[in-house]
Amino acid sequence: MQRLGRRIADLVAAHLATLRDRPIRRILPPEHLAALLASPSPRQGRDFEQLLTYLEHQVFPYHASEPNPGYLAFVQGCPTFPAVMGDWLAAGFNFFSGAWAVSPGPNALELLVLEWFRQWLGCPEGTGGLLTSGGSAATLTAVIAARHAVVGDDPSRIPRLVLYTSEQAHSSVIRAAWIAGVSRKQVRLLPVDDQWRMDPERLFAAIAADRAAGLLPLMVVGTAGTTNTGSVDPLPALARLCAAEQLWLHVDAAYGGFAALAPKGKQSLAGIELADSVTLDPHKFLAVPFECGCLLVREVRRLEEAFRIYPDYLKDHEPKSGEVNFADRGEQLTRYARAIKVWLGVSFYGTEALGAAITEAIARAEYAEQIVRKSPELEVMAPARLGILCFRAHPRGWESGERLDDLNRRVMARVNDGGQYLISSTRLKGEFSLRICTPGFRTTRADIEAVLGQVVAAAQRET
Ligand SMILES: *Cc1c(COP(=O)(O)O)cnc(C)c1O
């Protein structure tokens, strides 16, 4: 066991130490895929070393390298090594974190990290929740809890439910609504203002119109750090409106929530503490490995009212006061001890260093914005917010439209095929935009200069 463990630690360390030497992305060729899928299940066991070699050469090369400093697409996952070790510990000990009775230590650690998160966001005492597989699972859990609060055990009311969010909301919000039984026609994707934020007046009008039509408003989902532009909905205004309308306010802070550790980020999140529930994603800005999301709920009993269920074979495991069966707060019974990686990653570096890294991550996108503003060939599409910048190549004299969109598509392909940087795209007000997202602590300002230099060079070659 020790030998194999060291082998794996060496392999991962070597990978992480040489990220810049390898291409940012490798596609799996179709003939290779066909060969891989044709392998029969092994009748006899094989040597571990051989199996590792197979993984190392036949499987692992084909991926987009998330922790790579050049990964600027989507939302990079860039875990610290102590946090990675936390996942290995959780798997090695194989703690069962669904029930208090069988692993009180790791469950207490989960309560502790949830309490840290609560304090970082400034949520009221008594707020609690659970760690989940990711932001999508956290939001789904919140929607189910809100649904239970509104319709209880009366399914006849479900068809009338309406969920309000903005057109910039993450797709997981819409999916959560569908899973909870909210009709696709009754998920309101409200238009945003010129800074990509939900407009409380339009929200108010939509709720009034739905009530007048006999529908049943379920909840409002605001976003703190949209995936497209990093924008933050006007949380204090949403909270006031939801209080007046007696509606559940959920804030999807999967992307932006841990910016609370950086002074500038904390300012942008003002009002998040007023939410009824919040989604966080430690596997984004908090630098823990996939998978790790989190749901915090102001009145944690709401979760237990929605999810708690005790079959005969679990009767002995009912928790006593102060104990928590995390299985009572969500859909998972068997769940692993995600708290270990969070606790290790946070404790090894401390919140000062993590906050400084997040401050610098936010500043990297602002630095990119400065360069874009100074470049006559480039144009800002949405200013840098919480580590996200949207921009495009825009040669002098070109009009907006399909031809310009197409140029930027080719620019993106050229940069991504270069092998050093991976950028992504989005659409803003109908126009194609390039997008970079800069949470990774390995990315430097020199990388920002280099990738924007590649965009300019690619645009020149394509025109
Ligand atoms: C990433 C993200 C999600 C989804 O989280 P997963 O961890 O991928 O399930 C939801 N909302 C926002 C704003 C995100 O950025």
The tens digit of pLDDT for each residue in 253-262 reads 999 999 999 9
Is 295 a member of any domain? Answer: yes
Same domain? 301 vs 364: no
**pLDDT for residue 4:** 96
Quick check: pTM over 0.85?
yes
Same domain? 397 vs 327: no
Is 5 a member of any domain? Answer: no
Same domain? 313 vs 341: yes
Same domain? 258 vs 324: yes
Cα(443) to ligand 1 centroid in Å equals 21
CATH number of the domain bearing residue 440:
3.90.1150.170
CB 227 near ligand 1, within 6 Å: yes
In the numeric block, which tokens belong to residue 171?
Answer: 């797709």
Percent of the chain with pLDDT over 90: 97
Question: Which of 412, 422, 388 has the alpha carbon at shortest distance from 22?
Answer: 422
Is 239 a member of any domain? Answer: yes
CATH number of the domain bearing residue 183:
3.40.640.10
Same domain? 107 vs 253: yes
Cα(279) to ligand 1 centroid in Å equals 9
Question: Which of 207, 212, 205, 201 has the alpha carbon at shortest distance from 186?
Answer: 207
Q: How many domains does the chain have?
A: 2
Residues 6 or more apart whose Cβ sits within 8 Å of residue 457 = none
* Contact status, residue 408 vs residue 432, Cβ threshold 8 Å: yes
> Binning pLDDT at 50, 70 and 90, where does residue 322 land?
confident
C-alpha–C-alpha distance, residues 254 and 283, integer Å: 9
Same domain? 385 vs 284: no
**pLDDT for residue 235:** 98
What would the pLDDT profile of 333-385 be if each residue is shown by its tens digit?
Answer: 999 999 999 999 999 999 999 999 999 999 999 999 999 999 999 999 999 99
CB 307 near ligand 1, within 6 Å: no
Is 46 a member of any domain? Answer: no
Q: Is the pLDDT of residue 314 over 80?
A: no
Is 196 a member of any domain? Answer: yes
Residue 395 has a CB neighbour count (10 Å cut-off) of 15
Is 75 a member of any domain? Answer: no
CB 75 near ligand 1, within 6 Å: yes
* Contact status, residue 386 vs residue 360, Cβ threshold 8 Å: no
Is 303 a member of any domain? Answer: yes
Same domain? 249 vs 105: yes
Residue 160 has a CB neighbour count (10 Å cut-off) of 18
Same domain? 274 vs 401: no
CB 291 near ligand 1, within 6 Å: no
CB 76 near ligand 1, within 6 Å: no
- Domain span at 323: 85-346
What would the pLDDT profile of 133-155 be if each residue is shown by its tens digit?
Answer: 999 999 999 999 999 999 999 99
HSE-up of residue 76 (Cα within 13 Å, Cβ side): 31
CB 129 near ligand 1, within 6 Å: no
Q: Is the pLDDT of residue 270 over 90?
A: yes
C-alpha–C-alpha distance, residues 128 and 40, integer Å: 47
Same domain? 392 vs 331: no
Domain edge (last residue) among 346, 373, 408: 346
Q: Is the pLDDT of residue 316 over 80?
A: no
Q: Is the pLDDT of residue 315 over 80?
A: no
> Binning pLDDT at 50, 70 and 90, where does residue 312 land?
confident
Same domain? 329 vs 360: no
Domain edge (last residue) among 322, 346, 370: 346
Domain edge (last residue) among 299, 317, 346: 346
What would the pLDDT profile of 402-430 be if each residue is shown by its tens digit?
Answer: 999 999 999 999 999 999 999 999 999 99
Is 366 a member of any domain? Answer: yes
Distance from the Cα of residue 112 to its chain's centroid: 21
pLDDT, mean of residues 86-102: 97
CB 229 near ligand 1, within 6 Å: no
CB 134 near ligand 1, within 6 Å: yes
Pocket test for ligand 1, best of 133, 139, 197, 227 (most atoms within 8 A of CB): 227
Same domain? 372 vs 278: no
**pLDDT for residue 249:** 98
Same domain? 402 vs 457: yes
Please report, for residues 65, 67, 68, 225, 337, the alpha-carbon distance to residue 9 in angstroms, rounded to integers and kept in the order given: 18, 16, 18, 35, 20
